[in-house]
Structure 1
């Protein structure tokens, strides 16, 4: 019998959930959707990278960030800079005053490529930047905040303010960033036309593969010792600190991991859509990313993916059918889900799906088994959490009524 790695069958889901997601993304959706709709689905999947990161950061780490658009934008702009330089070769820009530089630089009377653009002539450097720069930004922000024990609503407000600052900076430096229009007219990647139909299919599959890889990475983190400590940090931070753990370092790590995933999503968005603008960096997209995680289930990595797909699809459908009311309808759906299902759509499966599966197998659901009174269970669990610094499981928080 083949023994699967722990992160494939741990308490945060199993191989079945990953296989179902892979089948939906790789087989069902390409078979059912035309190229236009499949390209839209690929765009939605880029948002799912951020939602998965938020499940780790917010759902398990208790760190609510309202500025994930920062990291999504950093990854997206890094890829856009490489693509724009490739599209701005001297032959293609010969009608400009200064050939060989992006058109928006020429319009703003910049006559030489800025020094920080030069390294993005290399695809290798660009890929490294996509992976490293978002995590580096997150490290600077997280280290400065968590070492000073800034958390909760204060941290959320600071990240939101930083998203505003970055948006203003991008718009204000039009000659270097493309301003409010962003970086557009991205056509080729090393001579490969990313607008071609076959390229759109290939980019979709690459997108889905990377997303599943991020889900596996998150599952591996959560099913290890770090995942247990992270959950304990969310529920009883002071007790973990008194046990001798450096709480700030754990928070910085998970915040950087979420930013790392967001940067990949931003880069894939640029490739999938063919542009990047500051409208995907500020407050509105950052809050939408939080909505994706909340609707799908902030304690479920797979729920984050489904939440991004369902909410983005609903947003598109509402915008097409009711262009004047779609924002109100999206807000109403979010409020309804939060009030009725505080743990998102994933809690529906946790509450009813497992019981149904167990009944089909002819056995009782674990939730049907009588449990000792809370007084005899909780103290022991808490003592164990204090001693081991994080052995509390996510479902313990639900059982005790804590978020």
Structure 2
């Protein structure tokens, strides 16, 4: 069944991902420090962060590329998944914090909390935190999408209200009385499941899990898009009014794919936090959601593999440019988006596909001339 979901492009992508998941940890753990083959732990975490961004890009491409829903609020689902995992990591600290309180995180002791808020209960259990990583973004997407899609909010109006939702969460999480650390967020994590987060082995394991999550996310997206429901989603993208006329409950299909993509974004956020070491309200910034859309546009909308490629390409450029020329990064990002929109409407993958088709057509056009 899985073989039916994978085309040649997907097979190459999964093969490269498997090689990446094997080679990078080996270079970090087995190669001697100082050798040309050794990869430092910070680089492993950096690549792991790129993988979580690629998974976020997949979730955006699923709804935008295949259903035509341009969400500018997926950064909120990413951040909520990150906060769910961050809450578990904070509970894992126990009495090793600055204030040595076995129950309350340091920021709660500093803010004079008397007891742990009710919504923090259960996060000392890893399985509960993993469940919340899926349920919290999924529930928010379900409630938000239920009202939006039943009201037939589409196009730019839907993009605006998703951006408004993200900004509202940003303002809420900035408040100290929300119980999520306010402006500083959650940080100073020690370990996960008893493993030191700073240890090279733990970082390599988190990297491998990120590769596995990205591969699994790709297969889920392919399963959705290749199913009968996926064909309806494409019909909704191309001609929503006709799909309604044929009797399809368009809002249900939209709601389904919106919830699935939100849960994928939550998983990406949960893997992001232990590798970066912090989660704060800045992750809710609308600009982050806009960046995710740019990743998809650069790589190729409606291709899945292109979305992941765009995330790696743009974030790799961001790392280099912010290190060398930090003042020009935002100008570069804006120029990149404009250039892709004008000259590469199908993204990098679309350009490669067009060149491949041109190369195949060239021998056919030159053969008659050679015969003459």
Report if TM-score (shorter chain) is over 0.5.
Answer: yes
1:263 aligned residue: 266
Tell me the distance in 2 between the aligned counterparts of 1:30 and 1:338.
Answer: 39
Instruction: Give the 3-state SS of the residue equivalent to 2:112 in structure 1.
Output: coil
Q: What is the CA–CA distance in structure 2 between the aligned matches of 1:364 and 1:7, rounded to whole Å?
A: 32
In structure 1, C-alpha distance between the alignment counterparts of 2:266 and 2:347, rounded to whole Å: 25
What is the Cα deviation at residue 225 of structure 1? 1.2
* Structure 2 Cα separation of the partners of residues 54 and 270 of structure 1: 19
Segment drifting more, 189-198 vs 60-69: 189-198
Which of residues 197, 208, 211 in structure 1 aligns to 2:211?
A: 208
Aligned to 2:66: 60
Q: Does the C-alpha gap of structure 1 residues 116 and 291 become closer, same or farther in structure 2, counting only changes over 3 Å? A: same
- Could you say if the C-alpha distance between residues 14 and 82 of structure 1 is closer, same or farther in structure 2, counting changes exceeding 3 Å? closer
1:173 to partner: Cα distance? 3.3
**1:30–1:345: structure 2 CA closer, same or farther, 3 Å change rule?**
farther
Q: How many residue pairs were aligned? A: 355
Q: 1:6: how far off? A: 1.9
Query: What TM-score do the two structures reach when normalised by structure 2?
Result: 0.90
Offset of 1:9 from its aligned partner? Answer: 2.9
Cα 1:221–1:339 shift into 2, 3 Å = same
1:38 maps onto 2:44 in alignment: yes
Q: Which residue of 2 aligns with 1:282?
A: 285
Which of 160, 180, 184 is equivalent to 2:183?
Answer: 180
Following superposition, the deviation at residue 94 of structure 1 comes to: 7.8
Residue 4 of structure 2 is aligned to residue 6 of structure 1: yes
Instruction: Give yes or no for the alignment of 1:79 onto 2:85.
Output: yes
Distance 1:16 1:320 in 2: 32
Pairwise CA distance, 1:36? 2.3
Question: CA-to-partner distance for each residue in 1:343-390, whole Å, 9 max, x for gaps?
Answer: 11110122113554x58xx9869xxxxxxxxxxxxxxxxxxxxxxxxx
Task: Map 1:129-144 onto structure 2 (within 5 A).
Answer: 129-144=132-147
User: Which residue number corresponds to residue 92 of structure 1?
Assistant: 96
CA contact (8 A) 1:93 1:100 kept: no
Structure 1 residue runs without a partner (length 5+): 366-403
For residues 98 and 74 of structure 2, the distance between their equivalents in structure 1, rounded to whole angstroms, comes to: 39
Paired residue for 2:53?
47
Kindly indicate whether the alpha-carbon contact (under 8 Å) linking 1:184 and 1:274 is maintained by their aligned counterparts in 2.
yes
The answer as to whether partners of 2:10 and 2:305 remain within 8 angstroms in 1 is no
Are 2:16 and 1:23 equivalent residues in the alignment? no
Determine which of 94, 100, 104 is the counterpart of 2:107. Answer: 104
Deviation, structure 1 residue 281 = 1.5
Distance 1:122 1:86 in 2: 9
Aligned runs of 1:157-306 on 2, under 5 Å?
157-174=160-177, 176-306=179-309
Indicate the residue corresponding to 1:318 in structure 2. Answer: 321
1:397 corresponds to which residue?
none
TM-score with structure 1 setting the length: 0.83
1:151-162 mapped onto 2 (5 Å cutoff)? 151-162=154-165
Q: CA deviation at 1:125?
A: 0.8
Structure 1 counterpart of 2:32: none
Matched, 1:345 2:348: yes
**CA 1:94/1:7 → structure 2, altered by over 3 Å: closer, same or farther?**
closer
Q: 1:318 to 1:29 in 2, by over 3 A?
A: farther
Distance 1:149 1:166 in 2: 23
Cα distance in 2 for residues equivalent to 1:51 and 1:214: 10
Match of 2:31 in 1: none
Q: CA deviation at 1:194?
A: 1.4
Q: Which one has a larger percent helix, Structure 1 or Structure 2?
A: 2
Asked if the contact 1:39–1:204 (Cα under 8 Å) also holds between the matched residues in 2, the reply is yes
Q: Distance in 2 between matches of 1:273 and 1:27?
A: 21
Where does structure 2 lack aligned partners over 5 or more consecutive residues?
28-36, 366-372
Answer whether contact 1:314 1:330 (CA < 8 A) is retained: no
Deviation at 1:29, TM superposition (A): 9.0
In structure 2, how many angstroms separate the alpha carbons of the residues matched to 1:161 and 1:227? 28
Alpha-carbon offset, residue 23 of structure 1: 2.9
Compute the displacement of 1:18 (Å). Answer: 2.7
Instruction: Work out whether residues 25 and 204 of structure 2, in 8 Å CA contact, stay in contact via their aligned partners in 1.
Output: no
SS at match of 1:244: coil
